[in-house]
């Protein structure tokens, strides 16, 4: 109860009682001295003392009665207020105990949440590492395949260069044969010698056929190796397998063409030898010329076909080479994208740190409530300071924007020197 209220109530009661005592003394003083004292046999001084005692006792009793009448207790409402205060204090203590108990449970609650967050970190980290390992394995296969393609490209370039040289030689040879045919028509005297020369030159083309067959075998071997490497690469190498199969088919067709050409050359050589006996006859010369023209045309067509095959093979190898580089770049980009897990881990670690701060703060509040009567309890760090410290630990601008939106205070741009995201 406030002391001013108690003073007012006691003063009012005292004034009422004093007024009543003064009124009583005013009206009954003469009667008391003239009638009551003689009947009681008391002297005036003794009567005054007895009267004073009666007045004081009556005043005291009147104060108590007035207090009971107006304030419902004997002490100007103090008892009722003390009773209400006691009940209120008991309620406050009960509430404080409940709040302190709940605040103590915040730490366990935060431990549960932190455990879930730690589980998320572990699971995402395990998944990210597994994906990274798989991508690295695929990258190794692609790198091996890329190296093989590089080597094959060099070999294909070398073979193409050699083929161009051989084709140029063949064209020169065809030109020589055309000149030979013209010379054969104009000079029959040297027919035998020239026919023998042509036969020898025709037979010498077998080495060219063998060279073409060797190139065909090497191309087939290259296609087989590419198919093996594509099979090792699995799904990612399916495109290489298709290309390798086409190259192998082309090699087989080239080998068949070489066989046919070899047979054609042999037939031409046999035909020239057969016609040697009739070298002086006009029809023999014409037949020989026609045969040589057919042979020349076949060689020309062979050169053109082989040139196209070489260009196609080179184009296929270059396409495979470019595809391997694109695949390598794609795997590197995919590997870099997996680092999202590290960003997530650092963001969750900030949340865990905030939960630790909240646990410590709630624990301090519980201790503070439990020690209300202790004037030496430790000071409580405001939550605003904890929020400022959490803000300074953010690693991404999106975290700061979310923080500003929640607190209603825009500080974006003032913490550019904060920690950065660390990637593995």
In a domain, residue 114? The reply is: no
Same domain as 280, residue 254:
yes
In a domain, residue 96? The reply is: no
Per-10-residue mean pLDDT of the chain, 424 residues long, equals 64 75 76 75 74 75 72 62 60 63 62 65 72 73 72 72 72 71 63 69 70 75 75 71 73 76 75 63 61 70 69 71 70 64 73 78 71 64 74 75 76 54 46
Same domain as 351, residue 305:
no
Residue 35: DSSP 8-state:
I
Q: Which residues, other chains included, contact 321 with Cβ-Cβ below 8 Å and sequence gap of 6+? A: 146, 149, 150, 153
Same domain as 294, residue 145:
yes
Same domain as 258, residue 403:
no
Among 317, 335, 353, where does a domain finish? 335
Q: Which residue has the tokens 């509040």?
A: 365
217/233 Cα distance (integer angstroms): 24
Q: What is the predicted pLDDT for the residue at 126? A: 75
In a domain, residue 127? The reply is: no
Same domain as 145, residue 60:
no
Q: Which of 1, 7, 9 is nearest to 69 (CA)?
A: 9
Same domain as 270, residue 304:
yes
Same domain as 172, residue 47:
no
In a domain, residue 103? The reply is: no
Phi, psi of 74 (to 5 degrees): -85, -10
Same domain as 371, residue 279:
no
In a domain, residue 250? The reply is: yes
In a domain, residue 93? The reply is: no
Same domain as 292, residue 241:
yes
Q: Which of 235, 231, 253 is nearest to 244 (CA)?
A: 231
317/145 Cα distance (integer angstroms): 12
Q: What is the predicted pLDDT for the residue at 423? A: 46
Q: What is the predicted pLDDT for the residue at 1? A: 45
Predicted TM-score (pTM) of the model is 0.34
In a domain, residue 241? The reply is: yes
Q: What is the predicted pLDDT for the residue at 233? A: 73
- Reading the block at residue 30, the tokens are 């003469």
Among 299, 315, 335, where does a domain finish? 335
Residues 261/302, Cβ–Cβ less than 8 Å: yes
364/367 Cα distance (integer angstroms): 5
CATH of the domain at 219: 1.10.287
Q: What is the predicted pLDDT for the residue at 94? A: 64
Distance between first and last Cα of the chain: 68
Among 300, 335, 370, where does a domain finish? 335
**Longest pairwise C-alpha distance within the chain:** 203
Q: Which residues, other chains included, contact 398 with Cβ-Cβ below 8 Å and sequence gap of 6+? A: none
In a domain, residue 369? The reply is: yes
Q: Which residues, other chains included, contact 81 with Cβ-Cβ below 8 Å and sequence gap of 6+? A: 1
Q: What is the predicted pLDDT for the residue at 280? A: 45
Query: Domain total for the chain?
Result: 3
Same domain as 354, residue 318:
no
Coil, strand or helix at 133: helix
388/386 Cα distance (integer angstroms): 5
Same domain as 142, residue 288:
yes
Domain that holds residue 390: 341-407
User: Packing angle between helix 78-186 and helix 340-370, nearest 10 degrees?
Assistant: 170
Residues 156/312, Cβ–Cβ less than 8 Å: no
Same domain as 161, residue 30:
no
């Amino acid at each position: 109860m406030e002391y001013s209220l108690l003073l007012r109530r006691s003063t009012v009661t005292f004034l009422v009682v004093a007024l009543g005592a003064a009124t009583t003394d005013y009206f009954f003083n003469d009667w008391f001295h003239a009638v009551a004292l003689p009947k009681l046999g008391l002297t005036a001084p003794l009567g005054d003392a007895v009267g004073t005692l009666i007045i004081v006792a009556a005043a005291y009793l009147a104060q108590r009665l007035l207090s009971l009448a107006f304030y419902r207790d004997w002490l100007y409402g103090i008892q009722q207020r003390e009773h209400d205060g006691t009940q209120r204090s008991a309620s406050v203590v009960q509430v404080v105990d409940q709040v302190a108990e709940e605040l103590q449970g915040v730490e366990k609650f935060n431990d549960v949440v932190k455990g879930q967050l730690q589980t998320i970190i572990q699971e995402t980290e395990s998944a990210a590492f597994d994906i990274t390992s798989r991508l690295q394995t695929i990258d190794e296969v692609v790198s091996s395949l890329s190296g093989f393609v590089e080597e094959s490209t060099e070999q294909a370039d070398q073979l193409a260069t050699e083929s161009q040289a051989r084709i140029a030689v063949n064209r020169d040879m065809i030109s020589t044969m055309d000149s030979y045919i013209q010379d054969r028509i104009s000079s029959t005297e040297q027919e035998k010698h020239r026919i023998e020369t042509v036969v020898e030159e025709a037979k010498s083309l077998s080495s060219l056929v063998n060279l073409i067959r060797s190139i065909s075998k090497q191309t087939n071997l290259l296609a087989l190796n590419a198919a093996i490497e594509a099979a090792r690469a699995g799904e990612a190498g399916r495109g290489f397998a298709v290309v390798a199969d086409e190259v192998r088919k082309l090699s087989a067709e080239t080998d068949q063409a070489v066989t046919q050409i070899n047979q054609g050359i042999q037939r031409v050589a046999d035909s020239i030898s057969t016609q040697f006996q009739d070298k002086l006859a006009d029809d023999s010369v014409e037949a020989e010329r026609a045969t040589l023209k057919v042979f020349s045309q076949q060689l020309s067509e062979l050169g053109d076909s082989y040139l196209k095959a070489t260009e196609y093979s080179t184009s296929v190898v270059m396409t495979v080479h470019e595809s391997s580089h694109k695949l390598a770049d794609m795997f590197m980009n995919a590997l870099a994208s997996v680092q999202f897990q590290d960003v997530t881990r650092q963001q969750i670690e900030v949340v865990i740190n905030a939960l630790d701060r909240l646990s410590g703060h709630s624990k301090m509040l519980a201790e503070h409530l439990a020690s209300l009567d202790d004037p030496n309890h430790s000071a409580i760090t405001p939550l605003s300071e904890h929020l400022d410290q959490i803000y300074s630990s953010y690693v991404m601008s999106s975290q700061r924007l979310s923080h500003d939106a929640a607190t209603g205070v825009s500080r974006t741009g003032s913490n550019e020197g904060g920690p950065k995201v660390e990637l593995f």
